[in-house]
Every structure is written in structure tokens, then in C-alpha cells.
Structure 1
Amino acid sequence: MKTYKLTAFEANGEKILDESIQAENDDAAKKQGEQFLAEKQLLEKTHRLTSQSGKLLLFHS
């Protein structure tokens, strides 16, 4: 399992979400991240999902 970091922000830059996600690969992490954001109603907020190596998997501003 790999660890991924999911963060979301308000328009003023305040961090409103800072979660770690465990997944087998980048695609699985992306799906989990999108699902988590949808459940928390944060898909329209600025967010990003990064891998352990710093690869940007999801981004919305």
C-alpha cells in the first residue's frame, strides 16, 4: 500500500481538509480521493491529491 495526501482549502487559503489515503496505486488513490471529496461536499473547493513522490494526481482550483 502507498500513502497519498489529500488536502482542500477555502478561497482565503485556509486548510479545511488534510487526510492521508492508503491505496494500491495512483488510480485507486484518485478514485478514493474523489469519493472522499464528494462525501464531504468539497469537490468545488480548491483541492489536491499527491503521491509520496510528489506526483499531482488531482487538482482543482
Structure 2
Amino acid sequence: MPTYTLTAFERDGEKLLDETFEAANDEEAKKIGEQKLRERGCWDKTHRCVNAGGKLILFHR
């Protein structure tokens, strides 16, 4: 299964979340990433999710 990395940051650059997870495809990874961000209270923070090749799957600034 492909690996994805999810990160979230405060405006000052402090890293709030840095997690790697597996998903069957990019669409599933986007859903998992959104769920993890909401659970950890980071949905409204700057965040991104990328696949192992560096493709941006999810982004918010």
C-alpha cells in the first residue's frame, strides 16, 4: 500500500502534526488525512498531505 505524509503547522512555523500513514490510493488518503486533521483540531491550520513521490494530495493555507 502507498505511504502518505500528513503535516500541520501553526502560523509561526511550529509543527503540530507530522504523521505517516498508508492508504489504497490518493482519494482514500485525502479522506483519511481530513479525518485525522479534524480529530486533532488541525483542520483550520496550515496543512498538507503528500504521497511518497511528493505529489500534493491535500493542502490548506
- Bin of the TM-score, shorter chain as denominator length: over 0.9
1:51 aligns with 2:51: yes
Give the match for residue 36 of structure 1.
Answer: 36
Give the ranges of 4+ consecutive aligned residues of structure 1 lying more than 6 Å apart after TM superposition: none
RMSD after superposition: 0.5
Give the number of equivalent residue pairs.
Answer: 61
| TM-score (normalised: structure 2) | 0.97
Q: Which consecutive unaligned segments of at least 5 residues does structure 1 have?
A: none
Equivalent runs, 1:4-19 vs 2, <5 Å: 4-19=4-19
Q: What's 1:26 paired with?
A: 26
